[in-house]
Structure 1
Amino acid sequence: MTLRASPKALLSMAALALLGAAALASWRPAPSAPAPPEPPPPAPATLSPTEGPAAGAPVQPEVMTVEGEDYRVHVIAFRLANAHFEVVDVEMSRDVAGVLERTRASFVINGGFFDRQRRPEGLVVVDGRELAPLAPSLGGGVLVVSGGRAALHDAAGFVLSPGAHLAVQGLPRLVVSGSRNVRSDGGPRAERTALCVLDRGRRMEAIVARGDRAQSGPTLGLLADMLVARGCEQALNLDGGPSTGVAWREDGGAREMAPRGPIRHAIAVRLDP
């Protein structure tokens, strides 16, 4: 059966359609609520100063040339009353510049010797902590810093007194009681590192003899004569040859003469600003 709408019903439906179309035409979405303002960006964090001691005072090495020789001698002089020592195991690397930054030192030099197994050879003590034991077979001497004074002792029968800030064994003792302690002028030429004691132990000089070639440098006898001429009262030879290296902090940056070969220990010295 087919249903048919009456004309009146059709008119009503048309009217409703027209009203719906008009309503749709006039409809506008209700304005949405304004978005909450974005929070302001956080203020830059204030970083606390780097923990640990302030960076050491910069140094200006004295650089000496030796007539007729192809090496130069860098000398860093300092007073022991203003010095703080640290010895760092660099694990057979050449990274004296890294030690300079990590310890915030004024300068860093290579330390003592190591054996064929790359173990430290010779006494090393810092602030009462022994990093390596005395090596009687090595001989040489032990340089001790205690109470703001430095003294060089014969390694034979040496016994360390309590309270030492630094003790390092090396060989040979280049200068003893202001006099040369090396018998011969001979021996190989090599790059050298040494510590010199002056002013009755109140001052020290770190001596680094380096050339442009690995084999350039003084003999031990020539180095001893040079240190006597500088007024050294005591002086100890540290590891040399390819182990010789130094890094220092200067105004505006840092400088480095890295060792040509790996080293076991580096001696960092931080000087009060």
Structure 2
Amino acid sequence: MTAVVPAVPPEFTAPLRASREPRRRRLGRDVARSGTASRTEEFPLAENESVTSILDGLEEPAALRHLPESRLQAVADAVRAEMIDAVSVTGGHLGSGLGVVELTVALHHVFDTPDDRIIWDVGHQAYPHKILTGRRDRIRTLRQGGGLSGFTKRSESVYDPFGAAHSSTSISAGLGMAVARDLDVAEAKAAGREAPKRRNVVAVIGDGSMSAGMAYEAMNNAGALHSRLIVILNDNDMSIAPPVGAMSAYFARLASGGTYRSLRETAKQLGQLLPKALYQRAAAAEEYARSLVVGGGTMFEEMGFHYVGPAPAVAAPDAARAGAPCAAVQAQGESFTVCTVDLRRQRVRLFWLGADGLPYASLGSLAARQGAGLSFAMNAGMYDKGQAPVGLYVEDGREMKPVSTANGPGNFHLKPNGVFYVKGERAGVLDTARYLKAKVKPDFATQSGPMLVIDGQIHPKISADGPSQKIRNGVGTRDDGRTAVFAISERPVTFGAFARLFRDDLGCRNALFLDGSVSSLYAPNLGRSDLSRPLGPMVGAVAR
């Protein structure tokens, strides 16, 4: 479970502070003050393209997900202009919608709605959501007889999974959906059927709504049930009335500095070298120390949530990037970081040698050379002392090391081992024999071992919970062939627990072990860049 705290720039709320002159006359100035006109140089409109014409053809979020990140701010600006114009005609909740424009664009760009559920607390801030989910042509019927509801409404759209028009109900609704999802998966597995897609459930709640007891009751239950649920706390001071009380002041004090996060990751890596009992005590001490440094910012984690934030006010591309691809996951009684990549929106590729012909050798070096386009990276297969891959390695269609079918000691040779490969917008994991038989011509491929999951079955030589415990990382793919899932454990885990993570919790029928002990992650949205011994091949995601 994750709680994210984004803030919204003051200029997005400018129309609320404008003078009470006629709405139609004020529209152009409101749009400019909210940021649209000032951004046209950075996100130029095409010839003959109006501010809102970019929305033509974006009737459903699926179309939005195919846009490059560079166009998302233009979409947000157009949504803001469309909403202001509509509300100038119909009346309604303007400020609450203005406070979530970038967030709304980012959510529909990152999550696979309507399969993934987005629940808007109260629902009065959902005007941008309605514009992007097939209701733009009716947006000027808001709050009119026979027109669109001023709130989310289940009978109105499949994109509205919950309707309330009352505050503080979103977390409990989301928890119910998350539990139902988990029961469906468990029932399918018990009956020997293919498990349904494990959809995400996201609850978006404002700082005003978070002051109600119902929200905390839901968080308390969520922490006890351990169902995967994402809660976004939109702390932007944009309640219907000014938020008051101790909780509002508490949110205002929350802080999370990048320097502290970097130091925390370094200390955590050093702590992983300690015996398990000492590591656990060190982790508990870190939580206590963080509460002193951050000023009490671990309340959410005390309730069972993994807290990420606060995220500063950001433009739409940055908001989308902050939501993907890496997040904390609690599963199998352990903590993991999981990075999920949709290959239709991001390109997964391998890295070994730089332009100078030398190995990148570290995540920091790779990140410095790739720049902001690298959304995550981790080590990608076993290597020898010179950082050369032990088995197959293909980069940009060129085979730089051949497939290894040799026998030998160590995890790599625990047969069947396997290959993770990428070809265009598709990715797969196959055991080595099947990979050779399929005669795949990949753009990128790396060989490692052992396989963790093979056609939904745990590797036959992996015991349920053996004695070996190490920090581990691996990769799996979903049946659609377009989703690659990378995971790293936060502390030493068994092979059995790691394999079950991919099969039972991440929905991967095929998964491959990449390495242990040296396992490392670069995840800028989490403020993380792990240190390690020199690395060989690495895998990462970059913008298409």
TM over 0.5: yes
Between the aligned partners of 2:455 and 2:377, the Cα distance in structure 1 is 26
Q: For 1:106-164, what per-residue CA distance to the aligned partner results, in whole angstroms no more than 9, with x for missing partners?
A: 11111111125543211111221123221212451012222422222221374374641
Alpha-carbon shift at residue 170 of structure 1 (Å)? 0.9
Distance 1:93 1:148, change over 3 A: closer
Alignment of 1:138-217 (within 5 A): 138=413, 140-156=417-433, 158-159=435-436, 161=439, 163-183=441-461, 184=463, 185-211=465-491, 217=492
Between the aligned partners of 2:448 and 2:348, the Cα distance in structure 1 is 17
Between the aligned partners of 1:114 and 1:155, the Cα distance in structure 2 is 17
Q: Secondary structure at the match of 2:419?
A: strand
Is 1:73 the counterpart of 2:348? The answer is no
The size of the alignment, in residue pairs, is 209
**Paired position in structure 2 for 1:123:** 392
Distance 1:148 1:86, change over 3 A: closer
Give the AA of the match of 1:270. V
Distance 1:150 1:187, change over 3 A: farther
Q: Is the 8 A contact 2:374 2:540 kept in 1?
A: yes
Alpha-carbon shift at residue 210 of structure 1 (Å)? 2.4
Q: Secondary structure at the match of 1:196?
A: strand
Distance 1:190 1:199, change over 3 A: same
Identify the match of residue 84 of structure 1 among 326, 344, 347: 347
Q: Is the 8 A contact 1:244 1:259 kept in 2?
A: no
Between the aligned partners of 2:434 and 2:332, the Cα distance in structure 1 is 40
**Paired position in structure 1 for 2:501:** 226
**Paired position in structure 1 for 2:524:** 249
Q: Is the 8 A contact 2:332 2:500 kept in 1?
A: no
Give the AA of the match of 1:123. L
Between the aligned partners of 2:419 and 2:359, the Cα distance in structure 1 is 22
Distance 1:94 1:203, change over 3 A: same
Q: Is the 8 A contact 1:85 1:165 kept in 2?
A: no
Q: For 1:163-205, what per-residue CA distance to the aligned partner results, in whole angstroms no more than 9, with x for missing partners?
A: 4122111111101112222431314101111111113322111
Between the aligned partners of 2:401 and 2:528, the Cα distance in structure 1 is 26
Q: Is the 8 A contact 1:174 1:182 kept in 2?
A: no
Q: Is the 8 A contact 2:421 2:442 kept in 1?
A: yes
**Paired position in structure 2 for 1:240:** 516
Hey, which of these two has a bigger chunk of helix by percent?
2
Is 1:258 the counterpart of 2:491? The answer is no
What TM-score do the two structures reach when normalised by structure 2? 0.35
> Which deviates further from its counterpart, 263-272 or 57-66?
57-66
Give the AA of the match of 1:88. F
Distance 1:157 1:130, change over 3 A: same
Distance 1:266 1:228, change over 3 A: same
Identify the match of residue 327 of structure 2 among 59, 62, 65: 62
Alpha-carbon shift at residue 237 of structure 1 (Å)? 0.7
Between the aligned partners of 2:386 and 2:367, the Cα distance in structure 1 is 26
Identity %: 25
Between the aligned partners of 2:419 and 2:531, the Cα distance in structure 1 is 23
Alpha-carbon shift at residue 255 of structure 1 (Å)? 2.5
Q: Secondary structure at the match of 1:239?
A: strand
Alpha-carbon shift at residue 83 of structure 1 (Å)? 2.6
Between the aligned partners of 2:537 and 2:478, the Cα distance in structure 1 is 24
What TM-score do the two structures reach when normalised by structure 1? 0.67
Hey, which of these two has a bigger chunk of strand by percent?
1
Q: Secondary structure at the match of 1:237?
A: strand
Q: Is the 8 A contact 1:182 1:221 kept in 2?
A: no
Between the aligned partners of 1:98 and 1:206, the Cα distance in structure 2 is 20
Between the aligned partners of 1:152 and 1:167, the Cα distance in structure 2 is 10
Between the aligned partners of 1:271 and 1:82, the Cα distance in structure 2 is 7
Between the aligned partners of 1:164 and 1:116, the Cα distance in structure 2 is 26
Alpha-carbon shift at residue 221 of structure 1 (Å)? 1.2
Q: Is the 8 A contact 1:100 1:268 kept in 2?
A: no
Identify the match of residue 133 of structure 1 among 398, 402, 407: 402
RMSD across aligned positions (CA):
2.9
Between the aligned partners of 2:396 and 2:361, the Cα distance in structure 1 is 24
Give the AA of the match of 2:380. G
**Paired position in structure 1 for 2:94:** none
Distance 1:197 1:109, change over 3 A: same
Consecutive unaligned residues in structure 1, runs of 5 or more: 1-53, 212-216
Larger RCO: Structure 1 or Structure 2 (Cα < 8 Å, ≥ 6 residues apart)? Answer: 1
Alpha-carbon shift at residue 96 of structure 1 (Å)? 0.5
Alpha-carbon shift at residue 247 of structure 1 (Å)? 0.8
Distance 1:157 1:232, change over 3 A: closer
Alpha-carbon shift at residue 97 of structure 1 (Å)? 2.6
Q: Secondary structure at the match of 1:81?
A: coil
Alpha-carbon shift at residue 87 of structure 1 (Å)? 2.4
Give the AA of the match of 1:113. M
Between the aligned partners of 1:169 and 1:221, the Cα distance in structure 2 is 20
Give the AA of the match of 1:82. R
